[in-house]
């Protein structure tokens, strides 16, 4: 029998602490849409998405009503389009079909405009990557990602160099909106195949068709729990985060199982990530500050984040047998009011953020830089992050936005993407380093066989 306090606790989490299910994402395999004709491929892709995922929004809305928990985003992830449209060469046509399909079935985003080039880039993958700026400027809901490194393969520095240029071109193509196209483009090391979060979601080649992956949320709930144990030592903090993460994840697990059942789809994973939003109190930065830091970015921030990330996972894996995706704490700058404040007051730099990415999921996320930042500097930032991912056997990513016409102040995106303070990059050149090209070999511990 439930007791009244447990019921009230759940209600309070939703009412005052922003507990929500961040996303219900359906993964679709598009390999049955491959053809040699551009138009035919795009038509098959559109038809498949509308037919197979048409009920996603309705189902999510009905689950939200039944359980009284908001489901913020409904999304689709598809097989990497670099492979699906390789035969026809219709990358742009397929992207436009994805965008139309997303609008037709009213989902928020569709991910999978993706290439996996960690070891080598084929001619068609290069053509695909070169299409990204145009695709992101001509579509609204399509998200793109490129995996340039892995622990097994090392770092493809040719791809890293190219991505610096592509990010600059994407920013330029969407310069009228402060480079928003780059908010829909992630460069990965060790990309995961079942990620429900954007912009990096795609349905990997080892994945099933029609698979439901759910991303939870809840920084506000964790913050509230830590606020209740003021001054307690770190073992108590870890225990509290763990218990809270368990509860949040169970809500996600329930929604995922029920969504899969109602849609006649396969249940995939629950992603345990703590994903902040720009709403006050729904902030990962504030959790770290509640642990005793005057501002996130102060010495101690990396340790605080390491504890948080680990405790979230420990609580989460007890709550679901199928934890997956990125699972950890996210530290996007523009999407977290506490991070924005810390950058604005000068407490948080790209260098400190980079250190923090070594102990949490994802990486340098939603970071705005001056529009005149050289492409080679952006590539070098990607290379650093890829090295952290490849060497530490973890996912790492860069989502960086050069804002044309601005060297300071803010870029404004609205909604979940928030506002991004322009951050300083090193004034020293990495151009010759990036110009070398080739591959950085896989780290020694990749040889586990």
Q: Residue 247 Cβ, how far from other proteins at the closest point, in Å?
A: 4
- DSSP readout, 152-181? TTEEEHHHHHHHHHHHHHHHHHTGGGTTGG
Report, in Å, the least distance between residue 50 CB and other proteins. 25
Check if the beta carbon of residue 142 is closer than 8 Å to that of residue 183. no
Smallest separation, CB 58 to other proteins (Å): 12
Minimum Å gap between C-beta 64 and other proteins is 10
Q: How far apart are CA 147 and CA 189, in angstroms?
A: 6
Nearest distance, CB of residue 3 and other proteins, angstroms: 8
**Residue 433: C-alpha distances to residues 114, 157, 341, 351, 439 (Å):** 26, 10, 33, 19, 12
Query: Which of 225, 200, 204, 226 minimizes the C-alpha distance to 215?
Result: 200
Cβ nearer to other proteins, comparing 218 with 389:
218
d(CA 442, CA 252): 36
**Is the Cβ of residue 47 or residue 66 nearer to other proteins in the bound state?**
66
- Tell me whether residue 65 or residue 435 sits nearer to other proteins (CB atom): 65
Q: How far is the CB of 255 from other proteins (least distance, A)?
A: 9
**Comparing C-alpha atoms, which of 32, 187, 30, 196 is closest to residue 117?**
187
Q: How far is the CB of 12 from other proteins (least distance, A)?
A: 10
User: Which of 184, 48, 195, 50 has its CA nearest to residue 113?
Assistant: 184
Q: How far apart are the C-alpha atoms of 28 and 48, rounded to whole Å?
A: 9
- Collapsing DSSP to helix, strand or coil, 291 comes out as coil
* C-alpha 80, offset from chain centre: 16
SS3 120: coil
Please say which residue, 12 or 104, places its beta carbon nearer to other proteins. 12
Instruction: Pick the closer one to other proteins by CB: 6 or 176.
Output: 6
By C-beta, is 16 or 205 nearer to other proteins? 16
CB–CB of 135/182 below 8 Å?
Answer: no
User: In the complex, which residues of this chain contact other proteins (CB under 8 A)?
Assistant: 2, 4, 6-11, 15, 62, 65-69, 247-248, 250-251, 253-254
Q: Enter the tokens of residue 214.
A: 């759910």
Nearer residue to other proteins within complex by CB, 55 or 300 = 55
3-class secondary-structure state, position 399: strand
């Amino acid at each position: 029998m439930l007791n009244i306090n447990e019921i009230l606790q759940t209600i309070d989490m939703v009412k005052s602490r922003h507990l929500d299910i961040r996303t219900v994402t359906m993964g679709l395999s598009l390999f049955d849409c491959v053809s040699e004709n551009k138009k035919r491929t795009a038509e098959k892709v559109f038809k498949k998405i509308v037919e197979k995922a048409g009920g996603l929004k309705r189902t999510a809305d009905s689950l939200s009503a039944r359980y009284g928990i908001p489901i913020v985003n409904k999304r689709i992830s598809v097989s990497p389009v670099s492979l699906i449209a390789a035969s026809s060469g219709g990358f742009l046509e397929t992207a436009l079909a994805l965008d139309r399909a997303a609008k037709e079935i009213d989902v928020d985003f569709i991910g999978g405009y993706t290439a996996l080039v960690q070891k080598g880039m084929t001619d068609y993958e290069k053509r695909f990557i070169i299409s990204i700026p145009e695709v992101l400027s001509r579509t609204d809901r399509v998200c793109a990602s490129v995996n340039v490194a892995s622990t097994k393969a090392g770092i493809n520095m040719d791809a890293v160099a190219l991505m610096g240029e592509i990010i600059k071109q994407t920013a330029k193509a969407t310069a009228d909106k402060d480079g928003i196209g780059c908010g829909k483009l992630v460069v990965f090391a060790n990309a995961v195949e079942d990620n429900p979060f954007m912009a990096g979601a795609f349905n990997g080649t080892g994945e099933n068709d029609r698979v439901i992956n759910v991303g939870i949320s809840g920084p506000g709930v964790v913050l509230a729990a830590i606020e209740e144990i003021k001054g307690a030592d770190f073992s108590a903090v870890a225990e509290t985060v763990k218990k809270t993460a368990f509860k949040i994840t169970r809500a996600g697990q329930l929604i995922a199982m029920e969504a899969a059942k109602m849609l006649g789809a396969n249940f995939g994973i629950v992603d345990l990530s703590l994903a902040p939003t720009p709403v006050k109190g729904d902030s990962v930065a504030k959790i770290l500050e509640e642990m005793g830091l005057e501002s996130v970015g102060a010495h101690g921030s990396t340790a605080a984040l390491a504890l948080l990330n680990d405790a979230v996972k420990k609580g989460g894996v007890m709550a679901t047998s199928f934890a997956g995706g990125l699972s950890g704490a996210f530290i996007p700058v523009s999407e977290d009011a506490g991070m924005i404040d810390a950058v604005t007051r000068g407490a948080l730099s790209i260098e400190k953020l980079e250190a923090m990415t070594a102990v949490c999921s994802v990486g340098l996320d939603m970071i705005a830089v001056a529009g005149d930042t050289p492409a080679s500097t952006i590539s070098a930032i990607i290379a650093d992050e890829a090295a952290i991912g490849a060497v530490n056997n973890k996912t790492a990513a860069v989502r960086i936005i050069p804002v044309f016409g601005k060297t300071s102040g803010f870029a404004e995106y609205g909604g979940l993407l928030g506002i991004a303070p322009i951050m300083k990059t090193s004034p020293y050149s990495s151009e010759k380093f990036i110009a070398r090209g080739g591959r950085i070999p896989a780290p020694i511990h990749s040889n586990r066989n």
